[in-house]
């Protein structure tokens, strides 16, 4: 595994930035290793994939994890407000960085990945294939 570290800046869209980085650098199979920063606008899909939440306020990123296959991200985020209340969900476009986000990605260079429609889930799910080196 190789690592890629970058600082995303104020007003960047977190999900779009991650996907653009992966496409620009031709990263095929990627995992999020670390993300430290804050958001000023949040857009997430909540559990059961029915409702979305959009709010504007200052939130600390507590965790961000997931996978990116050929520039298509599947990411979940946890956030905390100013008194420590936490919430989270599926990261959508529209999560806007406030000041900074220090991001570390792991590039799985021994894997190829793609998203394939799964009849059981109704979604395109990531499939990893070990190619070795």
Task: Report the CATH number at residue 117.
Answer: 3.30.1330.80
Reported pTM: 0.93
Predicted pLDDT of residue 123: 87
Structural contact between residues 58 and 102, judged by C-beta atoms closer than 8 angstroms? no
pLDDT tens profile 71-115: 999 999 999 999 999 999 999 999 999 999 999 999 999 999 989
pLDDT per residue as tens digits for the range 24-80: 999 999 999 999 999 999 999 999 889 999 999 999 999 999 999 999 999 999 999
Identify whether the C-beta of residue 69 lies closer than 8 Å to the C-beta of residue 112: no
Residues 6+ apart with CB under 8 A from 120: none
pLDDT score of 133 more than 70: no
Helix (H) or strand (E) holding 117: strand 111-118
pLDDT given at position 29: 96
> In degrees rounded to 5, what are phi and psi of residue 20?
-65, -40
Rounded to an integer, the average pLDDT of 122-129 is 91
Cα–Cα separations (whole angstroms), residue 94 to 33, 54, 106, 114: 21, 8, 23, 24
| Domain count within the chain | 1
Picking from 59, 80, 7, 64, the residue whose alpha carbon sits closest to that of residue 31 is 64
Higher-pLDDT residue of 123, 14: 14
Domain interval for residue 61: 2-130
């Amino acid at each position: 595994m190789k690592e890629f570290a970058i600082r995303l800046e104020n007003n960047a869209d977190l999900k779009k930035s991650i996907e653009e980085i992966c496409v620009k650098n031709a990263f095929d199979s990627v995992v999020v290793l670390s993300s430290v920063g804050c958001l000023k606008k949040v857009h997430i899909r909540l559990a059961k994939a029915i409702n979305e939440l959009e709010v504007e306020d200052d939130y600390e990123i507590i965790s961000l994890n997931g996978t990116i296959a050929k520039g298509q991200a599947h990411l979940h985020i946890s956030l905390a407000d100013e008194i420590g209340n936490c919430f989270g969900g599926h990261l959508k476009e529209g999560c806007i960085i406030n000041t900074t986000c220090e991001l570390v990605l792991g590039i799985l260079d021994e894997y190829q990945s793609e998203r394939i429609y799964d009849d059981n889930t109704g979604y395109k799910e990531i499939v990893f294939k070990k190619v070795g080196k």
